[in-house]
Structure formats: C-alpha cells, structure tokens
C-alpha cells in the first residue's frame, strides 16, 4: 500500500501550501503516527520475507544436492 492510498483511506490531507501534514489536532497527529507505524511494520515484514526466502532456497539446494 502506498502513502497516498493510506492518506485517502485515513482522511489525512497534507497541506499543499507548506507541503507538511496538519498536526494541529490530536486526531490528525494520531493518524500520522499510525501511518508511520504501518510503514515501519511493512519494512520489517519485507526484511523477514527476504530472510525466509533465502533460508528456504538454501534448504532446497541442500536437499536437492544430496539426492
């Protein structure tokens, strides 16, 4: 999911003049913090997925080399 899609879903609208997010209210600040957490979780999951893929490939090559 991309940032503009998340902004649309969560109704977080950036300020086009200053090119920053409006954090004047607690609600807007909380939504932006949620977006940041989502991106961090996504980045961690990508790293885990890559590590699992490498591990599985190594195990597969080991199994095929023995047969």
Q: What is the mean pLDDT of residues 26-42?
A: 87
Report whether pLDDT(67) > 60: no
Report whether pLDDT(15) > 60: no
Cβ neighbours of 63 (radius 10 Å): 9
Which of 33-37, 47-51, 62-66 has the largest mean confidence? 33-37
The share of the chain scoring above pLDDT 90, in percent, equals 0
């Amino acid at each position: 999911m991309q940032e503009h899609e998340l902004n649309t879903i969560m109704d977080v609208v950036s300020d086009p003049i200053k090119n920053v997010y409006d954090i004047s209210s607690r609600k807007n600040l909380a939504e932006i913090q949620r977006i940041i957490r989502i991106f961090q979780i996504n980045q961690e999951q990508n790293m885990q997925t890559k590590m699992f893929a490498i591990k599985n490939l190594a195990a597969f090559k080991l199994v095929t080399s023995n047969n």
